[in-house]
Amino acid sequence: MFWGGLKAPRGLDWTSDTTTLWMAERGADEVDRIRALATGPERPRRAGQRATYVLPQPLGAGGLAFYRGDAVRPFDGNMFLAAREGGYLLRIQFDEQDALRAVSSEKLLEGRIGQVRSVVSKSDGSLYVASESAVWRLTGPPAAGR
C-alpha cells in the first residue's frame, strides 16, 4: 500500500479488521485532520483516501489508537487521539453501519494531565496515555467481586 502527498503525519493505526489505515496529520494549511486510507477492488495494490475529517482546533495530534479489548464496551471500535496542544485525549466514535463515518467526538482528561503526547491501546482493554511527564494507564471499571 502506498499513499503520498503527506506534509506532517502524526499518528496511525489500523482498524481492528485491518482493512483501513487511519492517519492523523497536519496539512499544509496547518489544520489537523484524520484520513482513512484503504485499497479498493479497482486498484488493490494502491491505497486511496476513503474519508477525511477536520479535527477540533487547536489539537496538535500526537498519536492515534483504536480501542481494542472489552474492558470498556462503549469504547469498542472508537479512535483515540492524543491532543498535545489541546491538553486532552480525543475520543471519536464511528457509525456502526459505516465504519468510515465519524458520528461524534468527546474530549477526555481535558486539563487533567498536561500535554497528551501519545496513546496506545492494549488487547486487555487498557489505554496507555503519555503526557510530557508521565505515562497513565486507563482501565475499565473493576470486575464484580473485586
Per-residue pLDDT of 86-108, as tens digits, reads 889 999 999 989 888 999 999 99
On average, the pLDDT of the chain sits at 84
Classify residue 117: in a domain, yes or no: yes
**For residue 93, what is the domain's CATH number?**
2.120.10.30
Tell me the average pLDDT across 95-123: 90
Classify residue 115: in a domain, yes or no: yes
Tell me the average pLDDT across 20-30: 86
Classify residue 90: in a domain, yes or no: yes
- Return the pLDDT at 89: 93
12/34 Cα distance (integer angstroms): 9
Specify whether the CB–CB gap between 95 and 101 falls below 8 A.
yes
Tell me the average pLDDT across 13-34: 86
7/111 Cα distance (integer angstroms): 29
Q: Among 37-41, 90-94, 113-117, 121-125, whose mean pLDDT is lowest?
A: 37-41
Classify residue 145: in a domain, yes or no: no
Q: Residue 62 is placed in which grid cell?
A: 500526537
- Return the pLDDT at 9: 77
Identify any residues that bridge with 11 across adjacent strands, giving them in sequence order: 24
80 Cβ contact partners less than 8 Å away, ≥ 6 residues apart = 64, 65, 66, 67, 89, 90, 91, 92, 119, 121, 127
- Strand ranges in 41-126 using DSSP code E only, listed in sequence order: 43-54, 61-66, 79-83, 88-94, 102-108, 116-121
Classify residue 146: in a domain, yes or no: no
98, 96, 61: which is closest to 80 by C-alpha? 61
Q: Residue 119 is part of which domain span?
A: 8-138
When divided into structural domains, the chain yields a total of: 1
Classify residue 2: in a domain, yes or no: no
Q: Provide the whole-model pTM.
A: 0.84
Classify residue 17: in a domain, yes or no: yes
Classify residue 75: in a domain, yes or no: yes
145/111 Cα distance (integer angstroms): 33
